[in-house]
A = this chain, B = another copy of it.
């Protein structure tokens, strides 16, 4: 083009070293630089003993610093920060329900979910934290190195600084392996997304007893255990670069241009009006001293808890949480077409998603919410699959800082040839695993349940 030339300054756009490091780390499953995988449960239990904490349900009136704002009735923090529980009204031509109202969490800030990585003895390790979250059924789970709202790391609550946050915010030290915006739960958050980061450092990283260096292989082992790897860790892991090799990365049932078109179409052709409304007078919902709940008892409540903990940035606090009714099911049907693994994806509308529709698992529901004659598509196929077809099954909790006992069974289930040959209902498409990875790497395209399942899929693929 006749432009000016300067001394050589360009670099390859994609770095083979990262892929190699990740692939090698994924193969190291039994023992990392800090501990053997068999020792992990004891290490986590020890962290629990060292950090005393307790969580109990309280009345809204016992919340400290939180009030129902007049006249909206929204549940707000007196600082104006953290988050607000307000109302949402959804009117849409997508799905079976043309209009509904629900409480929703509004938190208009972008948090950081960051995992620090470092090569130790030639193997890439990831610094994970034993972190108490009040909504987790077992309280203590494995979180990213940093899991910080802007309120956290700008120290609105005047607590201790967030440990290791300097690797992720401000002038950073280290090499970016992933850094992408990803949505949170579209059913419970209003247009919320976080920054998912993985940063590799060569620095000496000061140790801390609540943190542990683990290989990718160890993390994939732990991902097979119930309620161990928290949601934030799972979504950050899903943002890792792909390790796919040909032919996985070259062939698919559908060209990439058509996959993007499929998502674009579902993002374009619904007619939706989605608005925040006051919590007071929200149709179908009522507030008692202890909860905000639907008159028919379905879906979820808003509740309040008091927390006492030793290893948090502040020693004790109280807060609202969303508590769903019943265990969920999130599942991808899998099938290999011409040797290339595919997942059956669903273009799903959720009222709170930033772009309203994202790629979701084949099945994503709380079965108890659905009467027998309105079972979600593919739920029965997934639950009735013979054990030999279940490639992955574990129970995981959603974000324990906002949701209480929000657990789902995450499943990867092989579809048989007959099911894989069936015509698909509207909104469903077979994507290759690599296409799911690519959409995830782009950000704001795959929902948090699909991202958890992508991390699980990698943990399975590694071992086969």
Contacts and interface: CB of A to CB of B under 8 A. Distances in A.
Nearest to A461: B1
B195 A421 contact: no
A336 B1 contact: yes
A443 B460 CA distance: 31
Given A265-B179, A267-B181, A443-B264, A255 B13 contact: yes
B2 A464 contact: yes
A316 interface: no
B181 A340 contact: no
Interface stretch (A108-116, A219-227, A377-385, A395-403): A108-116
Contact of A6 (B10, B337, B391): B337
A110 B336 contact: no
A197 B334 CA distance: 30
Interface in A433-464: 434-435, 442-444, 460-461, 464
A374 interface: no
A15 B336 contact: no
A453 to B, nearest CB: 14
Contacts of A180: 260, 264
Interface in A330-381: 334-341, 354-355
Nearest to A170: B269
Contacts of A269: 110, 169
Given A250-B13, A264-B181, A271-B150, A3 B334 contact: yes
Contact of A10 (B257, B268, B334, B340): B340
Contacts of A176: 257-258, 261
A256 B195 CA distance: 17
A14 interface: yes
A11 B254 contact: yes
Contact of A442 (B1, B6, B442): B442
Nearest to A196: B264
Contact of A338 (B8, B268, B443, B444): B8
